[in-house]
């Protein structure tokens, strides 16, 4: 059984629908043998990386699967992005959907196509704040407790992650 932490975000088009599509694809047909263990609230955040663009909607999913290894989680994320019409033109640019694999089973992995834990997760409030909301005891391997990482972020970073109670992701399976 593998347990994955996925960070999802969207800042183009129907942002809530693109986020929901990840949950729907994950378990909709049961072909991944996956189950959502936790789904964070949705947060609105300013874009990261210095590119002028609209705000993102972000959330974190904690999921488990008896069939997926880390590279399968990556393929699933990329499949979700393709289905949402994601085009990779500009690094840190706007996107219909971004699915980042943050961690799988707390095990490090260093490959050209996937590094775990995600190498920049510890400095991204839009990952850490939603993750902390669904798992107060979460730990980012090699970095420590997520609660401590959130506390160490600059206040401007933390305050820039605004909960959107008007948007809810729903597990439909």
Residue-wise pLDDT tens digits, 6-51 = 999 999 999 999 999 999 888 754 566 788 889 999 999 988 777 7
Q: What's the CATH class of domain 2-163?
A: alpha beta
Q: Is 100 a catalytic residue?
A: yes
18 SS3 class: helix
Please confirm, yes or no, whether 105 is among the known catalytic residues.
no
pLDDT digits (tens, 9 = 90+) for 81-114: 999 998 777 676 789 999 999 999 999 999 999 9
Task: Say which of 69, 72, 100, 105 is annotated catalytic.
Answer: 100
Tokens of 17: 């629908």
Q: CA-to-CA distance for 104 and 5, rounded, in angstroms?
A: 6
Cα 57 to Cα 42, 43, 68, 129, 161: the distances in Å are 6, 6, 26, 13, 10
Query: pTM for the whole thing?
Result: 0.93
Greatest distance between any 2 Cα atoms in the chain: 42
pLDDT at 143: 97
């Amino acid at each position: 059984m593998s347990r994955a932490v996925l960070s999802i975000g969207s800042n183009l088009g129907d942002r809530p629908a693109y986020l929901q599509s990840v949950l729907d694809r994950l378990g909709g047909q049961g072909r991944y043998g996956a189950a959502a263990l936790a789904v964070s609230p949705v947060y609105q955040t300013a874009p990261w990386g210095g590119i002028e663009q609209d705000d993102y909607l972000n959330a974190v999913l904690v999921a488990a699967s008896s069939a997926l290894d880390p590279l399968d989680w990556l393929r699933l994320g990329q499949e979700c992005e393709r289905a949402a019409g994601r085009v990779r033109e500009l690094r840190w640019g706007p996107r219909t959907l971004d699915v980042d694999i943050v961690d799988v089973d707390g095990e490090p992995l260093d490959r050209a196509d996937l590094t775990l834990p995600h190498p920049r997760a510890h400095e991204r409030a839009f990952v850490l704040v939603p993750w902390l909301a669904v798992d107060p005891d979460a730990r980012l391997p090699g970095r420590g407790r997520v609660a401590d990482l959130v506390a160490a972020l600059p206040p401007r970073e933390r305050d820039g992650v605004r909960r959107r109670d008007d948007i809810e992701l729903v597990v439909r399976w």
